[in-house]
Each structure stands twice: as C-alpha cells, then as structure tokens.
Chains A and B, each alone.
Chain A
C-alpha cells in the first residue's frame, strides 16, 4: 500500500528572543488503521471567481466514515485577495494570497442524514473568493470516490 507522508515545519526568527522551529510529520493512513496507507489522490488547480460559494469537494458515500486529507493553497499574490473555506454551513477559515491549509477531513463529523446528505454529515468543502478571482490548488488524499456510470446522450 502507498505511503504518503505530510511534514510541517513552523519557524520564526523573531517571535521570541531566540529563533524557534518545530517540526512534525505523519503518515496518511486509512481510517482506523496505522498500517494501511491511502493510495488515491486528486490534484486540482482552479480559478475561483467572486460572487458564489462553490463546492470544491463533494461529500459522497465513498468518502464516508474514513480519513481523508485536504490540502488547499491560495496562489494569488495580491495580499488583499482571499477565499473562505466552508465545511457544510460553517466557514472554518480564510486563505489569503499565499496561505495554505492541511487538515484531516471526514464525512463523519455529524450524524444527521438526509436525501441530499447521504453521508449524514453535510460536509461538502466549499470555497468563495473575495476582492478578485483567486487561483487555488488543492489535493485530496482519499480512500475512494463515487464513480458515476457514463450514460450516452
């Protein structure tokens, strides 16, 4: 099985009187295991226009009840440009130009099921751009995705 590692370093030359640096790394495992690595990923680059809150990653049964990992970076360079990131109905963060986030993401953070919420979590990840269009890149490391059957039209 694939082994993907995420490492982070947080450093500063001037937060304290002496420079600080902390580092951590983790392996991206399937939910409830410590030996089986995730072997599927999606990587996207998109331009997000202003005015609408768009679905970036749709929840699905395939993503339900498992660990997935989402990385999002705002590639704009004007420091006033930003996007908000939402999970379900809640805005959870803002990414200004150059900022990034990396979080484990699960469809299992709530339990109320509905017709339009098959996972019972309502955990679409949504994104909205402000000030100007924002170019973002994101990677989703996941356990699987719901593949749709092609129907010829």
Chain B
C-alpha cells in the first residue's frame, strides 16, 4: 500500500530566548478513498462543501484557507472545518492550515467546510487533501 510522509516544522527566532526549531515526521500507510489535492469554494452552507465522505475510518486530513474567494480576490472570512453532523473541529483564518487524523469516534460521518458568515455572497476558496488510514 502507498505511503504518505507528513513533515511538520515549527520555527521561531524570537518566540523564546533560544531559537525554536523542531520537526516531526511520520510514515503513514494509506488506501483509497483519497483526494491528493483539490480546491473547493466553501459557502455558509456546510453541507454544500463536503470534503471527506462519510466513513468510520480514520482520514488524514489537510485543509488550507487560501485567503481568497476565487484564487485572487482577498477575503478574511473564517471557515469552520466540521463534521457533517455540524460539530466543529477547527476554525481557519486566511492563510492557515491544519493537518490531523480525523476520526469521529467511529461514527459514520464526513467532514465539511462552513464559512462563518450568513451572507451567501461570502465564499472562500479552500484547498484540501485526505487519505484513508490503511
């Protein structure tokens, strides 16, 4: 089965008196279904932006807020990453990303994106990828 290798690095020269610099790397065996990288226009209707289909499996999930509505027009609207049962996992501001093995207590649910604004004109272009744990 294929392998996904995620590497996270956190660095700062001034958050602490000594330089902060650490990395963590993992080797994950994954299987279908997956989505290697895609974009989606998230709206205020979460169910319109399902990025991980309902499953009881663990999905390694990457989501990034592009800070734009369409790839070029800037927006600062925040976007909730939430289960399809509406419980929030995280809230992304412009430019932020998350990576995590998402798993809703073995419930058969998916993951969706939900723009934090009621105006249907407020949309955010998001990038995402997911891989199912083998």
On chain B, the residues within 8 Å of A2 by CB distance are 12, 14-15
B3 touches A90 (CB 8 A): no
Nearest to A9 among chain B residues (CB) is B7
Q: Which of B28, B36, B62, B100 has the most C-beta atoms of chain A within 10 angstroms of its own C-beta?
A: B100
A94 touches B101 (CB 8 A): yes
Stretch with Cβ within 8 A of B (4 or more), from A34-42, A44-52, A54-62, A143-151: A34-42
How close is B112's CB to chain A, nearest CB, in angstroms?
Answer: 14
Residue B54 at the A interface, CB < 8 A? no
State how many residues of chain A have any CB contact under 8 Å with chain B: 55
Residue A98 at the B interface, CB < 8 A? yes
B104 touches A109 (CB 8 A): no
Residue B18 at the A interface, CB < 8 A? no
Residue B119 at the A interface, CB < 8 A? no
Contacts A15-B4, A104-B90 hold; do A7 and B101 have CB atoms under 8 A apart? no
Residue A5 at the B interface, CB < 8 A? yes
The listed residue (B12, B96, B131) touching A26 by CB distance below 8 A is: B96
On chain B, the residues within 8 Å of A16 by CB distance are 36
B10 touches A73 (CB 8 A): no
Please provide the chain B residues from 1 to 23 with a CB less than 8 Å away from any CB of chain A in the complex: 2-16, 20
Q: How far is the CA of A12 from the CA of B37 in the complex (A)?
A: 13
How close is A29's CB to chain B, nearest CB, in angstroms?
Answer: 8
On chain A, the residues within 8 Å of B20 by CB distance are 4, 41
A105 touches B102 (CB 8 A): no
Known: A9-B5, A95-B101, A99-B101. 12 other contacts (CB 8 A): A4-B10, A6-B9, A8-B97, A9-B6, A10-B6, A12-B4, A32-B93, A37-B15, A93-B100, A96-B101, A103-B90, A103-B99
Could you list which residues of chain B lie within 8 angstroms of chain A, going by C-beta atoms?
Answer: 2-16, 20, 24, 26-28, 30, 34, 36-37, 58, 62, 64, 76, 80, 83, 87-105, 129, 131, 133
Give 6 closest A-B pairs by Cβ, nearest first. A101-B100, A91-B105, A109-B88, A4-B12, A2-B15, A103-B98
